[in-house]
Amino acid sequence: MPHQYEFPRAALTVDAVVFGFDEAELKVLLIKRGLAPFKGRWALPGGFVRVQETLDDAVRRELEEETGLHQVYLEQLYTFGEVKRDPRERVVSVAYYALVKMADHSTRAATDASDAQWFPVAATPPLAFDHATILQTGLERLRGKLRYQPIGFELLPEKFTLSQLQHLYETVLGTAIDKRNFRKKVLGFDLLEALDETNRDGPHRPAQLHRFNPAKYERLKKRGFLFEL
Amino acid sequence: MPHQYEFPRAALTVDAVVFGFDEAELKVLLIKRGLAPFKGRWALPGGFVRVQETLDDAVRRELEEETGLHQVYLEQLYTFGEVKRDPRERVVSVAYYALVKMADHSTRAATDASDAQWFPVAATPPLAFDHATILQTGLERLRGKLRYQPIGFELLPEKFTLSQLQHLYETVLGTAIDKRNFRKKVLGFDLLEALDETNRDGPHRPAQLHRFNPAKYERLKKRGFLFEL
């Protein structure tokens, strides 16, 4: 059954802003384009949506194909539809953002790909298309969400010290945080399990390791609990 | 320059969840479909994106064509891409939500359209396509945003009493709010201008009218101010 605006129609892509945190900097995973347009330029991983796959399936497939990443935390970010954003023709892109535990196995596979590389968010090379705008949108979403959803844990190793958690917040938000207030607030949520393990790395005295309890968060959220840091 | 997944390709639509508040209930603006599929069923206003218009332009055009609304507060909500969401063929829809001051002129034009009608969000008729899911997503976004962005003012008349503001929050969030705490918090933000006017309507004694100051909010936000109710 044809309809009025059926042809010509825009092409549809997905793109992913993949964030990682290496305990010093917030990073973003970029791929080097092998084909025109913008051949040789760095870009967000992504590609064309197949007509028989969902948007979520498309971005997971592209991430695995281009960076080796799979089973990452993924959320839809925004859909970019400026008419001239692709020099070939009209292409609308549904952007996602992903959060990756850089210390885990999954990320090693990603960095095996010769044309996939982590860059500090604060020092990326020039990007193809409108990907700088998409990256900026992803960064703003991450900063916003960090304050009212416990998504920061997706960027940390499974077991982390409170100093690591605080440093993540300080790095992403770009502000210094008072240590005592931060600990009081974070522990007050009762969402962390204190483990009988310490972190022996580094020059400091051993610090206790903690683990985030996502099941408990889901239970609290259903009762109207608000996470706000 | 043709590319691998160019054809077949999905069609692209925009849909809008238009919220209004009539001082008693939260409402949503629906249109009655004149054509198959789902002929005669109520649906969100929306339609196909033209290949030479942005997504924002497409949703503004469709809103004006189908409901007479223009110059409303509009934000992108989410893009819905389930493969079978349209019985005709693959259609991906970029959904927006709009907030409308029902007391203003713009809305009267909207209700002139014979097939556009406001329904209480809590009592909508069966909707076409996956529009019930889109409406639910819009409602969750509205509830979430109301807590940390002063968007509620978009649903109120330009001049409102603190009781009207509180009632809006109670209605949308579905919870009772302590009057004294609410007033203290709202006035503490220093974002409202108290006017030398009172509301003479209704059986209660006259209440002072207030006006939201969006320019002041923008200035405060740049300095890191967080609105949290």
Predicted confidence at residue A106, as pLDDT, reads: 55
The per-residue pLDDT for range B15-37, each reduced to its tens digit, is 999 999 998 899 999 999 988 89
Place B111 in a pLDDT band, splitting at 50, 70 and 90.
very low
Q: Is the pLDDT of residue B228 over 60?
A: yes
Q: Which residues of B touch A37 (CB under 8 A)?
A: 1
Name the residue of chain A whose CA is nearest to B1's CA: A88
The per-residue pLDDT for range A87-132, each reduced to its tens digit, is 999 999 999 999 999 877 454 444 444 589 999 999 999 999 999 9
User: Is B53 in CB contact (< 8 Å) with chain A?
Assistant: yes
* More reliable by pLDDT, B37 or B107: B37
Name the residue of chain A whose CA is nearest to B36's CA: A1
Q: For residue A91, give how far its alpha carbon lies from the nearest alpha carbon of chain B (Å).
A: 9
Strand pairing report for B207-212 and B159-160: antiparallel
Task: Say which of A3, A9, A56 has its CB closest to residue B51.
Answer: A9
Task: Say which of A37, A48, A90 has its CB closest to residue B5.
Answer: A48
Q: Which of B6, B56, B11, B58 is nearest to A88 (CA)?
A: B6
Residue B14 CA to residue B47 CA, distance in Å, equals 6
Q: Which residues of A touch B92 (CB under 8 A)?
A: 12, 49, 55, 94
Predicted confidence at residue B21, as pLDDT, reads: 95
Among A64-68, B14-18, B119-123, the range scoring the smallest mean pLDDT is A64-68
Q: Which of A146, A226, A227, A222 is nearest to A186 (CA)?
A: A227
User: Is B49 in CB contact (< 8 Å) with chain A?
Assistant: yes
User: Is B24 in CB contact (< 8 Å) with chain A?
Assistant: no
Residue A145 CA to residue A157 CA, distance in Å, equals 19
Mean pLDDT, range B96-106, rounded to an integer = 83
Name the residue of chain A whose CA is nearest to B148's CA: A148
In the chain, the amino acid numbered A171 is T
Domain A156-222: give its CATH code: 1.10.10.10
Q: Hey, CA dihedral for A55, A60, A66, A67, is it positive or negative?
A: positive
User: pTM value?
Assistant: 0.91
Q: Which residues of A touch B228 (CB under 8 A)?
A: 228
Winning range, highest mean pLDDT, from A91-105, B125-139, B197-211: B125-139
Mean pLDDT, range A194-220, rounded to an integer = 85
Contact B31/B129 with Cβ under 8 angstroms?
no
Contact A4 B88 (CB under 8 A): no
CB neighbourhood size of B121 (10 A): 21
CB pairs under 8 A between A and B: 91
Helices and strands in chain B: count of H runs, count of E runs: 6, 10
In the chain, the amino acid numbered A206 is P
Contact B1 A48 (CB under 8 A): no
User: Is A222 in CB contact (< 8 Å) with chain B?
Assistant: no
Place B4 in a pLDDT band, splitting at 50, 70 and 90.
very low
Place B109 in a pLDDT band, splitting at 50, 70 and 90.
very low
H-type alpha helices, chain B? 55-67, 105-112, 131-148, 162-173, 179-188, 214-222
User: Is B157 in CB contact (< 8 Å) with chain A?
Assistant: no
Mean pLDDT, range B69-80, rounded to an integer = 95
Q: For residue B147, give how far its alpha carbon lies from the nearest alpha carbon of chain A (Å).
A: 10
Place B6 in a pLDDT band, splitting at 50, 70 and 90.
low
Contact B49 A5 (CB under 8 A): yes
Phi then psi dihedrals of residue B64, to 5 deg: -65, -45
Residue B5 CA to residue A49 CA, distance in Å, equals 7
Contact B76 A78 (CB under 8 A): yes
User: Is B90 in CB contact (< 8 Å) with chain A?
Assistant: yes
Contact A1 B78 (CB under 8 A): no
Q: Is the pLDDT of residue A44 over 90?
A: yes
Name the residue of chain A whose CA is nearest to B2's CA: A88
Contact B77/A108 with Cβ under 8 angstroms?
no
Residue A47 CA to residue A29 CA, distance in Å, equals 15
Q: Is the pLDDT of residue B1 over 50?
A: no
Contact A12 B12 (CB under 8 A): yes
Domain ranges of chain B: 11-146, 156-222
Q: Which of residues 102-131 of A touch B (CB under 8 A)?
A: none
Q: For residue A106, give how far its alpha carbon lies from the nearest alpha carbon of chain B (Å).
A: 27
- Report the top-level CATH class of B11-146: alpha beta
Phi then psi dihedrals of residue A137, to 5 deg: -65, -40
For chain A, give the percent of residues with pLDDT over 90: 67
Mean pLDDT, range B211-229, rounded to an integer = 82
Q: Is the pLDDT of residue A1 over 50?
A: no
ipTM computed for the complex: 0.89
Q: Is the pLDDT of residue B43 over 90?
A: yes
Predicted confidence at residue B35, as pLDDT, reads: 87
Place A85 in a pLDDT band, splitting at 50, 70 and 90.
very high
Predicted confidence at residue A201, as pLDDT, reads: 64
Q: For residue A206, give how far its alpha carbon lies from the nearest alpha carbon of chain B (Å).
A: 35
Place B201 in a pLDDT band, splitting at 50, 70 and 90.
low
Predicted confidence at residue B202, as pLDDT, reads: 65
Q: Is the pLDDT of residue A141 over 80?
A: yes
DSSP state of A125: P
DSSP state of A126: P
Contact A97/A138 with Cβ under 8 angstroms?
yes
SS3 call for B191: coil
SS3 call for A193: strand
